[in-house]
Amino acid sequence: MASSKKSHARAQPCVLPGGFTVLALQFSPDSAAQHQLFVKEHRVRAETSSHRPQDRTLFVLNVPPYCPEAVVKDLFSQFGSVQSVELRDHPGSSKESGPRLSKFFRQAEKQGFKVGYVVFQDSSSVTAAKSHPHNVPLVVCTEQRPVRTGVQKWIQQYTDSFIRPENLQKIVDSFMEDYDKRKEEEAERQRKEAEQQQEDEEGWVKVTRGHKGTKARPHTEAANQRTLQKEMRKKKRKELMNFYTWQHRNTQKEHIAELRKKFEEDKQRIALLRAQRKFRPY
């Protein structure tokens, strides 16, 4: 009777003071070493993203480098259907800090332990993962799910780094089609704006009445640029060149200074040509 009580006590989950539950991780069935994962239910007040629902998301710490997202998904699938898995270097918001790049131009990932967010289909899966006994390890590498490490992993990563030309060509063609479509839409929009705000010979702009309930259109960049050019032309017409004596004198001084500068540059160029003519390498 005492032995059954001891075995029942060993099957209880190990809960730490911070609310984390310890899950044992074993690389292979015949491996003697074990690794520990720390999991808890993800509950953050500032988290408003729908990618991490607070009642179905499990926060995982100390994820080893040999466990990518696919492996983590398979490990936690025994507790229930997994919707998504996200591994990050540091805990934080799900919003991406940098621009999204193509899958062919991804930045090099940092090799180290990561934190994970496992989203289940059902909230009961989170409870099942937290109540898992700590003396029953989760096996990473099995015959049905082999995990490569060491040289085999590097060879696989090197092989996967090569891009098939036909796949890359399809992505490039799709991107260029979208780009051409956006450029055509932008050119059409600018043409319509130019027609609506086109000035006549006397400087009047034709204003048409829009649909009922539409708001007034703000000034566009093209309209502001035309207005600025118009003001500059008016200013140049009003400006009198060399009308006063001091204006004519300053113009002559600037012209003489420019001629002297050009004369010095020509002297230096001639001296350089003469030095090159005297140079005899042999």
Q: Quick check: is 203 in a domain?
A: no
Answer whether residue 10 shows pLDDT above 60.
no
* Residues 13 and 142 reside in one and the same domain: yes
Checking if the pLDDT of 261 tops 90, the result is yes
Alpha helices in 36-143 (DSSP H): 69-76, 124-130
What is the full DSSP assignment across 4-23? HHHHHHHTS-EE-TTS-EEE
Task: Tell me, yes or no, whether 92 lies in a domain.
Answer: yes
Residue from 182, 167, 191, 76 nearest 122 by CA: 76
Residue at 244 is within a domain: yes
Phi-psi region of 59 (alpha: psi -120 to 50; beta: other; left: phi over 0): beta
CATH of the domain at 120: 3.30.70.330
Single-letter amino acid, residue 270: I
Same domain, 193 and 146: no
Q: Do residues 226 and 248 both lie within one domain? A: no
Q: Looking at the structure, tell me whether residues 233 and 257 fall in a common domain.
A: no
Nearest alpha carbon to residue 24 among 141, 147, 134, 140: 134
Q: Output the CA angle 177-180-182, nearest 5 degrees.
A: 110
Which amino acid, residue 236? K
Distance CA 46, CA 48 (A): 6
The segment with the largest mean pLDDT, out of 62-71, 146-155, 238-247, 261-270, is 261-270
What digits encode the pLDDT tens for the residues 197-210?
Answer: 665 555 566 655 55
CB 25 within 8 A of CB 138: yes
Residue 57 lies in a domain: yes
Same domain for 234 and 263, yes or no, is no
Q: Is 167 inside any structural domain?
A: no
Residue 217 has pLDDT above 60, yes or no: no
Domain boundaries, position 127: 2-151
With a cut of 60, say whether residue 5 has pLDDT above it: no
| Pair (10, 142) in one structural domain | yes
Asked if pLDDT for residue 195 goes beyond 70, the answer is yes
**How many other CB atoms are there within 10 angstroms of residue 84's CB atom?**
14
Same domain, 70 and 134: yes
User: Residues of the chain with pLDDT > 90: what percent?
Assistant: 14
Domain-embedded: residue 84: yes
Same domain, 266 and 194: no
Going 123 to 126 to 127 to 132, the CA torsion angle's sign is positive
Distance CA 42, CA 123 (A): 11
The residue with greater pLDDT, 99 or 56, is 56
AA letter at 79? F
- 145 and 12 part of one domain: yes
CB 89 within 8 A of CB 27: no
Distance between CA atoms of residues 107 and 113, nearest Å: 18
Most confident of 1-5, 9-13, 73-77, 146-150: 73-77
pLDDT band at 94 (very low <50, low <70, confident <90, very high): low
- H helix intervals, the chain: 2-10, 69-76, 124-130, 150-160, 165-196, 221-238, 245-278
Domains in the chain, number? 3
Same domain, 40 and 147: yes
Residue 26 binned pLDDT confidence (cut-offs 50, 70, 90)? confident
Cut 0.85: pTM above it = no
Residues 232 and 249 in one domain: no
Say if residue 219's pLDDT is above 50.
Answer: yes
Q: Does 179 map to a domain?
A: no
The overall average pLDDT reported for the chain is 78
Instruction: Classify residue 27: in a domain, yes or no.
Output: yes
Between these two residues, 9 and 10, which has the higher pLDDT value?
Answer: 10
List, for residues 159-185, the tens digit of each pLDDT value.
Answer: 877 888 888 888 888 889 999 999 999
Q: Which residues contact 221 (CB under 8 A, 6 or more apart)?
A: none
With a pLDDT cut of 70, the percent of the chain lying above it is: 74
Do 145 and 189 sit in the same domain of this protein? no
